[in-house]
Amino acid sequence: MKEFWRLGKIIRILIKHGFGNIVERLSIRPGTSPVDQEEKESTTQNGFPSPHRVRSALEELGPSFIKLGQLLSTRADIFPPEYIEEFTKLQDQVPPVPFNHIRDIIQKELRRPLEDIFAEFTRESIAAASVAQVHMARLFSGEQVAVKVIRPGIDKEIRKDIRLMNAIAKRAEKAFEIARVIGAVNLVKEFERIIFKELDMFIEAGNIEKFAKNFELIDEIYIPKVYWDYTSKSVLTMEHIPGIKMDQVDKIKAHGIDPKEVALIGLRSFSRQLMDFGFFHGDPHSGNTIVMFDGRVSLVDFGIMGYLDDETMQHIANLFLGYAEHDYDMVMEALLDTELINEEAMDLKGFRRDLMDTSEPFYGRSLQTVSVKEVYDQVIHLVYKYKIRLPRNLLLLFKTFIQTEALGKILGSDASLLEITKPYAKELIKRSYLAKSALRNIRKDTLAMGNHLKVMPKLIHNILDQTAKGKQRIEFRHTGFQEINSQLINSINRVIIGVIISASLIAAAMVLNAPQHIFSFTINFLGLKGVPLTAILGLTGYVIATILAVWLIIMILRSRKL
C-alpha cells in the first residue's frame, strides 16, 4: 500500500514538472491528457525532457532520486553535457533529523547510553545530507571527533524507491528507444550496488584506514583517525579536522598559507592516488578538502571512492605521459590497450586527428587560462562522435580530474596538472617495466617446464612398453641401508641432546631470575655472603648445558659432517 502511495506521489511530481506525456507513454497512469504549454516547454528541440526540469523533478522526488541523479552526473558517456551539468548541481542538503532520533540510533548501534559514550555531544548537526548527518562530539579522553550518523529508516526508503525505479526503467526500455540505448535497467542496478555501500559506515571507515596507510609517509597530506570503538554500520566516529575549506581563499591567506602551494599539494595528492595507489577519492570538492592551520591538506568524507587495477594504472600513466610529451602514438596505443577504442569499428585516423585538434590548444596553458567546462565538452564530444563507452571508474576518475583542476583554479594555481603528474607516470611505467622483465623470465622458465611435462608421459609410456616386451629391464637395488640407519640414529641422538641443552639453558635462566629464593646458605667466598639454593641450581644447569654443548660440537666436528 505504501509503495502504491509512493508511486502516486512520483507520478504527481512528474506531471507537476511537465512530464505528463512521458508518464502517459510509460502507461503508469490511466487515461490520456493533452500536452499543455508547460509540458511542451519541458522538452528540448529534439523532444527530450529539458535538463533543468529533470533536475528539479529529481530534487523534489527526494533522497533516493537525488542520489540517482548524482550517479548519472558521472555517466558522461551516455548523457549530453547539458544534462551532466544539471546533474552536478543536485544538492542533497536537507533539514536535519531531530536530535532524539539521532540519539536513539547511536545508543542502539553502540549499545550504551549516549552520556556513557561521549563526554560532550552537540544537539545541532554541522552538516545534514540526504542519507546522513554529522555532529560534533568530545570523547572522555579529550579528543574532538565528528560523528556521522545514517538517517533513520533511509535504507528502507531507498529499497522501496529502487523497486519502483526498476519497474519504471523496465517500462521505459519498452516505451523509449533512448532508454534501451542508455540501459535504464542497468543504471538502476548500478545505483543499487553503489548506494548501499555508501550507507555502510564500516566500508567508509575502511576506506579512511586504507587512505591513511597509503599517505602515512607523506607529511603534506593528513587523513583523520577512525575511532573503531565508536563506529558501527550506521555510525562513524572520526577525528575532527579543524581548518579552512579549500575554496575560502581569503581565509587561507589570512592564516599565512600560500593558496598556490595548497593547490600543488592537491595536485600531487591526486597524482599519487592515481599512479602510486590505484585508489582515489571520488568526490574531492571544497567541502571535503580541508586546509589545516599548519598548511597541510586533509581529505574527509570517503563514501565515494574509485579503484584502478595495475593494468589500468599502467594505461593511464601512458596516457598522461603521452599527452604531456605530445606523443599521440603513445596516447593511441594506451587507448587501444584499454579497449576504449576499437580499430575495427572506428576510423582511427579520424579519431587521432580529432584528438590532436582537441588537445593541442590546451598545451602549455596554466589552470587559470583553461576552462574546465571547455575541456570537458571537447572530450565528451569525441566520446559521443565515436560512440565510446567508458567504464564507471574511468568516468569517476574524469569527474575527479575536473574537480581537482577546478580547485586548483580557485586557488589561483598556475601549475599544469599534466606536468605535475608526469614524474609519477614515469615512475609507474619504470616499475611496471621492471616487473614485466621479471615476469618474462618466469614465463620463459614456465614454458620450458611445460615443454618437459608435455613429453614426459610419452617417455614413460615408451619405457614401460619396452619393458613389457622384454627389451628393457628395470632393477631396484637397496644397499647401504645399514649405514643410513646408523647415521639416522646418530642424527636423532644429536637432536635430542640439542633439545636437552636448550631446555637446560631455559630452565637455568628461569631459576636464576626467579623472585623467590629457597634455602639461602651463608658463606664467605669471593665476597659472597648469601647464596640461595635457586642460584646454585641455576648455575648447575648452565654448567651441564655448557658441557653437553661443547661435547656435541666436538662430536659433530669429528664426524666432519657439519
Alpha helices, DSSP H, located in 325-416: 328-337, 348-359, 372-385, 392-410
Please report the sign of the dihedral spanned by the C-alpha atoms of residue 107, residue 113, residue 117, residue 118: positive
Has 283 been annotated as catalytic?
Answer: yes
- Residue 556: partners with Cβ closer than 8 Å, 6 or more residues away: 494, 562
Q: What is the DSSP letter of 298?
A: E
Three-class SS state of 513: coil
3-state helix, strand, coil in the chain (%, to 5): 60, 10, 30
Strands of 124-203, DSSP E? 127-128, 132-138, 144-150
Closest CA to 69 of 137, 157, 161, 160: 161
What's the length of the chain? 562
Q: What is d(CA 270, CA 278) in angstroms, rounded to the nearest whole number? A: 10
Is residue 512 a contact partner of residue 538, using CB atoms and an 8 Å limit? yes
Q: What is d(CA 188, CA 192) in angstroms, rounded to the nearest whole number? A: 6
Three-class SS state of 530: strand
Please report the sign of the dihedral spanned by the C-alpha atoms of residue 302, residue 305, residue 308, residue 313: negative
Lookup result for grid cell 596516457: 319
CA-derived radius of gyration, the chain: 36
Q: Compute how many other C-beta atoms are within 10 angstroms of the C-beta atom of residue 42.
A: 24
Three-class SS state of 83: helix
Q: What is d(CA 354, CA 324) in angstroms, rounded to the nearest whole number? A: 17
**What are the grid coordinates assigned to 361, written together?**
590548444
Is residue 101 a contact partner of residue 37, using CB atoms and an 8 Å limit? no
Cα dihedral value 307, 310, 316, 322, nearest 10: 170
Strands of 105-210, DSSP E? 120-121, 127-128, 132-138, 144-150
Catalytic annotation, pick one of 77, 247, 276, 283: 283
Q: What is d(CA 303, CA 283) in angstroms, rounded to the nearest whole number? A: 8
- Residue 37: partners with Cβ closer than 8 Å, 6 or more residues away: none
- Residues that are catalytic: 283
